[in-house]
Structure 1
């Protein structure tokens, strides 16, 4: 399925979970704090802005935020919280769409770069970020670390979460670095709901090479938004890349 088919009206309407999950204060607060600091008083551009989970509270902090988003239903959900004047959004692909102006910060959170399913598209995303940045600007990516060490030998599937009413299952294609996340939700009835999303996973070293190809330098990498040390056991990372002031994509 194409990404615009996955993030349809139904997905957009159930995406927001105020106060819980990815919208929990302890999850969202440190991300907004860190991004506000990295913006340095300048404007920010969010790739795949979605329903505004991060953009809305960041704008409330006084950071001017613009977004790029592929899914019109996700934008419509965002519009229930913020109008076009407060958070402008350009409809398009984060690997190629252009937003007006230049920014001190471009950011891409919650594993969303993996929604681009080829290495070429992911590299193009870095180049697109570079084109939007002011001299010395930063590109921030939040991304999970592939958990292939947990995949049993000879198996292609792994349960990553199991709790009452929910099971999460990933299936891997290690040749193409593809994973499909299957989210099963169920109650006491005999029926279960299924939401699937395909991704291309990226190792941190590969991500750094993509950044170098676009002219970025790795400035910092932590295990979370609060700045915990990134180690071999970290399940995710927040990577901050900076583009030199003399890079040809910035002006």
Structure 2
């Protein structure tokens, strides 16, 4: 199953959850604050802009935002909220597609680099970010830390969410460095829907090597968008790479 099959019309139609989850002010606010700071008065390019969860409010804060997006249904949802003059978007793969202009910031949020299923594709994503940035520009990624320490011998699954009407768990293939996220939702009494998405997980150290291969240097790493210290127990990280001046 390709990524364009995962991010289909059905998924796009229920992706936006205004005010809650990924769209909650306490989640989105610190993200936008940090991205405005990192853009440093310049233009920003969002890889895998999706329905515009981050890109649209970032543009509303005065940062010129361009996007790259592979899924036509996700892009259609974005277009219902912002026209091409407000947030221009190139339809294509974030590892290879080219957007016009030069940017001071390229960003990739909410684990999306893991949607590229090979190491080579992930390296090309770093290289593509480098090509789009002006000298001194930054590439920032938000990514979870693989939860392999939670796997006892003989077990390959970790539950990450269990609430009324929803259960989510990840299954790991530690040899192939792959995980599959399983999302069970109760749509109505007795009616359930299963969605699976496939990912290649990677560690911060591997990301740093990808950055080095592409020409970046690591500028900072924090546990979240608000700037909390990254530790061995942090479940995720926000890493900022800089193109040399």
* Residue 164 of structure 2 corresponds to residue 160 of structure 1: no
Report the Cα distance in structure 2 between the residues aligned to 1:219 and 1:168, rounded to whole angstroms: 33
Runs of 4+ in 1 over 2 A off after TM superposition: 187-191
Partner residue in 1 for 2:131: 131
Report the CA distance shift for 1:37/1:153 in structure 2 as closer, same or farther (over 3 A): same
Partner residue in 1 for 2:93: 93
Partner residue in 2 for 1:75: 75
Residue 111 of structure 2 contacts residue 143 of structure 2 at CA under 8 Å; is this kept in 1?
A: yes
Partner residue in 1 for 2:140: 140
Give the alignment's Cα RMSD to 1 decimal. Answer: 0.8
Partner residue in 2 for 1:33: 33
Gaps of 5+ in 1: 246-251
* Residue 171 of structure 2 corresponds to residue 171 of structure 1: yes
Aligned positions of 1:198-209 closer than 5 A: 198-209=198-209
Partner residue in 1 for 2:195: 195
Report the Cα distance in structure 1 between the residues aligned to 2:145 and 2:156, rounded to whole angstroms: 17
Residue 221 of structure 2 contacts residue 237 of structure 2 at CA under 8 Å; is this kept in 1?
A: yes
Query: What do residues 28-73 of structure 1 show as CA deviations (whole Å, max 9, x unaligned)?
Result: 0000010011001100000000000000110000000000000000
* Residue 55 of structure 2 corresponds to residue 60 of structure 1: no
Partner residue in 2 for 1:115: 115
Partner residue in 2 for 1:185: 185
Q: CA deviation at 1:187?
A: 5.8
Gaps of 5+ in 2: none
Q: CA deviation at 1:188?
A: 6.3
* Length-normalised TM-score, structure 1: 0.96
SS in 1 for 2:95: coil
Report the Cα distance in structure 1 between the residues aligned to 2:35 and 2:236, rounded to whole angstroms: 17
Report the CA distance shift for 1:79/1:187 in structure 2 as closer, same or farther (over 3 A): closer
* Length-normalised TM-score, structure 2: 0.99
Q: CA deviation at 1:190?
A: 2.6
Report the CA distance shift for 1:188/1:49 in structure 2 as closer, same or farther (over 3 A): closer
Q: CA deviation at 1:186?
A: 1.6
Aligned length: 245
